[in-house]
Amino acid sequence: MGRWEPNARDRLAQAALTLYAEQGFEKTTAAEIAARAGLTERTFFRHFADKREVLFFGTEMARDLLVRAAADAPAHATPMDTVGAALQALGALLQENPERVRQRDAVVSANAELRERELIKLAGLAAAMADALRGRGVSEPAASLAAETGIAVFKVAFARWIGEPDQPDLPEILRASMEELRNVLAERAGHHDDHVR
């Protein structure tokens, strides 16, 4: 990463997403990505283990962000509010560059192996969040329930955000989805008219 390769990682990532969208993930080679970015294949492999890694190098960042946000939540925050704060931090990060996130999602959604990888990623984020909650003194099963449920809410909110480009931003959809889930869980028999068409 010398001065003759400014933003190499970012240029490679953008070139890869463009090529995956244009010609499909399967057909794209590391050499093509490097060429599109005006860099060498060797440079590509200095930044990414393989072409799949380009789509998932953000996982570690997402995990660190969730864990840090959970740790930084106020001491009096409930487990679910702690999870909510962590999801807000992740949502805000993704909202910074919505076009790229949507482009990446389209590539991942079009490929079975990548969709599997995405599920593994989400399971890993849930485990990290449960760990962060236990680190705050939350006992089991509350920690795992709050973390897994948080990722469930994230999945639903993210799909809504992807499917409705004109809708509110991701942090707002996350907040609204969490509130909706509270309502869904709070209602008891005879009070569910709100959700029936």
Q: Is 49 in the site for a copy of itself (CB under 8 A)?
A: no
Q: Is 40 in the site for a copy of itself (CB under 8 A)?
A: no
Nearer to a copy of itself, 27 or 191 (CB): 191
Q: Tell me the site size for a copy of itself, rule CB under 8 A.
A: 50
Rounded least distance, CB 178 to a copy of itself, Å: 9
Q: Do 16 and 54 contact (CB within 8 A), yes or no?
A: yes
> 154-188 burial string, b = 16+ CB within 10 Å, else e?
bebbbebbbeeeeeeebbebbbebbeebeeeeeee
Q: Which residues contact 150 (CB under 8 A, 6 or more apart)?
A: 80, 83, 84, 86, 87, 126, 129
Q: Do 29 and 48 contact (CB within 8 A), yes or no?
A: no
Single residue of 81, 105, 131, 172 touching a copy of itself by CB under 8 A = 81
Q: Do 175 and 88 contact (CB within 8 A), yes or no?
A: yes
Nearer to a copy of itself, 26 or 116 (CB): 116
Q: Do 154 and 92 contact (CB within 8 A), yes or no?
A: no
Footprint (CB under 8 A) of a copy of itself, residues 97-156: 116, 119-120, 123, 126, 136-146, 148-149, 151-153, 155-156
Footprint (CB under 8 A) of a copy of itself, residues 155-194: 155-157, 159-160, 177, 180-182, 184-192, 194
Window of 5-13, 25-33, 78-86, 100-108 that interacts with a copy of itself by CB under 8 A: 78-86
How far is residue 67's CA from residue 128's CA, in Å, rounded to a whole number? 7
Interface residues with a copy of itself (CB under 8 A)?
A: 74, 76-81, 116, 119-120, 123, 126, 136-146, 148-149, 151-153, 155-157, 159-160, 177, 180-182, 184-192, 194-197
